[in-house]
Structure 1
Amino acid sequence: MTTDTTDTAELDALLRDCVARGTASVVRARHAVNLPMLDLWADALGDPNPVYRDASAAAATGRAGIVAPPTMIQAWTMPSLPALAATLSQVPGYAPYLDGETPTGTASDNPTAAAHRLLTAHGYAARAATRCRQEYHREARIGDHLTCESALTTVSARKRTALGPGYFVTTRMTFRDQDGAKVATVDWTVLCFRTPERQPPVAAAPDTRAEPPRPTTASGRTCRPLTAAPQVGDRTPVTTIPITPTFVIATAFATQDFYAAHHDADWTRTSLHRPGIFTNILATTGLVGGVVTDWAGPATRLLEVDLRLLAPNHTGDTLALDGVVTAVRGNDLELRVTGTNSLGPHVQAGVRAHLPA
């Protein structure tokens, strides 16, 4: 990735103005934290942690009741399908939700939305999340009704990337409960890019293999307490995830992400020049957190997950994840978690966690 020297002075000035506004937008989750959504998320990701489903198991770890997976935090305030249709009307399949009307792209007080509209209008219409840093102040509980305050923090200069030329847009999201207390802080970076005009669509590779079952709690993942105090250099077991169409679509919908690249293979091939649909960053975040909680046990409290995405997870591939302990400070520890597939590294992440005494 390098800085592009193309003259984009006018667009860059408009984007800097969006950042300078400093205005935050606030969205209230449509629903309170609820067990059906937790079940859907845990089923889709194959996460066996009982504190996300079982009140007695949660109580056994010192919690007051069932808690939401911390890595699920963004799912509660993701845009609804009609709201997404209003900003991505060029994507087939969203039109029925627009009542036949085309968004006009009128001005908004939301600087993040304004920056995305500007980039789309200048041809940078494709989107790919590239980094997510989630810091957890407390675990969300059943009945919490969350709000998300979003503020545009940075827009990069135009960069040359493997996907095409584009801009990295970073937003700071602060999640609060119904009493105004902080639950999580998220720094979210999206690449807004222009797909190369001369690049032909990538044909889907024939796959004669039977689709393996998507991972569930019966696939070998377990969540059991550690039998010895963790030490620097300790490694987690390897978690292997077959990237099937079912897994990609189920995890996208469980995280409330309706972007077509995670469910519409034809659109992804023709519009993004990718060989097919691929997992979203929220699924990867959940899997990274699961590497740690599977290994350290249900009493583990995640404090932070900071990850970068590299090669995508396309259907037909397999993702292998594992972690290594890099620091131990009392009951707090840090791990480096990596995931690879046939294309190479998919994710590199740092995780902080707390293990109650």
Structure 2
Amino acid sequence: MTTDIDTEELETQLQECVAKGTKSVVRARHAVNAPMLDLWADALGDPNPVYREAAAAEATGRPGIIAPPTMVQAWTMPQLSALAGTLPQVPGYAPYLGGRSADEVAAEKAASDTGDNPAAAVHRLLTAHGYSARAATRCRQVYHREAQVGDHLSCESVLTTVSERKNTAIGTGYFVTTRMTFRDQDGADVATVDWTVLCFRTPEAPSVPSAPETPETPEAPEAPDSVTGGGDADRDGTGGGSETAATAATGRTCLPRKEVPAVGDALPTTVIPITPTFVIATAFATQDFYAAHHDADWTRESLRRPGIFTNILATTGLVGGVVTDWGGPATRLLEVDLKLLAPNHTGDTLTFNGEVTEIGGEGGDDTGERDEVLVKVAGWNSLGPHVLATVRAHVPA
């Protein structure tokens, strides 16, 4: 355990990394493509046809198939070899060192680097001081335009803040926030993402997983009495879109709206069984290879958790999907802002409810678009609230 002097020196170094303001840019390996869209939609059970069918997308005024906006981070997630090279000491990525020791990978990286990435430097510092476990806690995505098949995205990242040391329910650590700006092949902004990760020390003794302390985020609605019920996400029972095993299991549909949205409208309850297949499939579909999302033995031993759990990228996709399921294929997401609380472990069930709280832009007056809505979304499991979120979207009737 570090001393107070160690902590003071560490926090000085962390803030020096923030002060550098150095930006790094990563270009996606592949352009936005239909096979990856299919994998993402299949894994999450998202029935929205605009992610799969050109005719359905064109019927909503789009030029063709679009990528789910909530999927934006998946395109530039690190390759396994890059993860091993950038964060070799972080538990959970060790299986992908390819037989080389962490020291060998670090030395190889140091020899080839032309400049340090402050965000990576922060993670290395924290890991070296014992804050080696990771948990994503907050994600705010703002969408400037919808990515389409054929777009080739890049991501510019800059470290924005590192908190003081915090005591949380899952361990003591630091909240590290990075701003990511996603652009297309022409340099036009596609999305801006503020991403917060808790770097913490795993408690010595096993403990019941609960909610970490997270940065302040807009309030979300309390779950209605029906939160433990099955709900019915199908407005008229006719189904729609491309059905997968996941959509069949949850009853999710995405149909054109017939009613004008109004303040107080409740979204249909959506129930997601958290099976091992769901956790692993959604992690891989979002290109997240952290061991806590696929290796139950490692997760129990290293994180003191009862088993694997869903990642924040899957939760973001589900939150956006709850709104597009309700709003229909013509819905255009503008922003998803969420914080994570209790984890989603296998064997549990995640239940979503939501409510329209504003119409017509910020403040609900006539200064905003009349089809812009603000929706509060809450997802609950047996441990309590898993996610609290606000979603802005255009929902034409």
1:329-340 equivalence runs, <5 A? 329=360, 330-340=370-380
| Equivalent residue for 2:123, pick from 96, 106, 116 | 116
1:347 is matched with 387
Aligned residue number for residue 176 of structure 1: 183
Q: 1:294 aligns with which of 311, 322, 325?
A: 325
Corresponding letter in the other structure for 2:252: R
Whole-Å Cα distance in 1 between the matches of residues 10 and 183 of structure 2? Answer: 34
1:306 aligns with 2:337: yes
* 8 Å contact kept, 2:250–2:271: no
Superposed displacement of residue 200, structure 1: 4.2
Q: Percent identity?
A: 73
> SS where residue 132 of structure 1 aligns?
strand
- 138, 145, 156: which is aligned to 1:138? 145
Distance (Å, rounded) in 1 between the aligned partners of 2:326 and 2:248: 14
Note the C-alpha offset of 1:289. Answer: 0.2
Q: Determine if contact 1:66/1:141 at 8 Å carries over to the other structure.
A: yes
Q: Does the 8 A contact of 1:201 with 1:269 survive in 2?
A: no
Take 2:139 and 2:29, find their aligned partners in 1: how far apart are those partners? 23
Deviations 1:216-260 (A, max 9, x none): 356410001222111111011111000000000000000000000
Q: What residue identity is the alignment partner of 1:248? A: V
TM-score normalised according to structure 1 size: 0.92
Distance 1:228 1:200 in 2: 50
Superposed CA RMSD in Å reads: 2.0
Contact kept, 8 Å, 1:326 with 1:334, in 2: the verdict is yes
| Kept in 1: contact 2:247–2:253 (CA 8 A) | no
Moved more, 330-339 or 99-108: 99-108
Cα distance in 1, alignment partners of residues 257 and 274 from structure 2: 29
Check whether the contact 2:261–2:395 (CA below 8 A) recurs between aligned residues. Answer: no
- Alpha-carbon distance in structure 2 between the residues aligned to 1:51 and 1:131: 27
Residue identity matched to 1:81:
L
Taking a change above 3 Å as real, the CA distance of residues 98 and 236 of structure 1, as seen in their structure-2 partners, is: farther
- Distance in 2 (CA, whole Å) between partners of 1:262 and 1:286 is 16
TM-fit CA distance, 1:103? 2.1
Greater displacement, 82-91 / 133-142: 82-91
Structure 1 match to 2:238? none
Aligned length in residues: 343
CA contact (8 A) 2:250 2:272 kept: no
Instruction: Show the counterpart of 2:219.
Output: none
Q: Distance in 2 between matches of 1:192 and 1:150?
A: 18
Partner of 2:106: 103
Q: Report the residue type matching 1:353 in the other structure.
A: A
Distance in 1 between the 2:105 and 2:186 partners? 38
Question: Which residue in 2 is equivalent to 1:210?
Answer: none
1:280 maps onto 2:320 in alignment: no
Unaligned runs of 5+ in 1: 203-212
**Cα distance in 2 between the residues matched to 1:164 and 1:214:** 37
- Structure-2 residue corresponding to 1:209: none
Q: Deviations over 1:131-151 (max 9, x none)?
A: 000000000000100000000
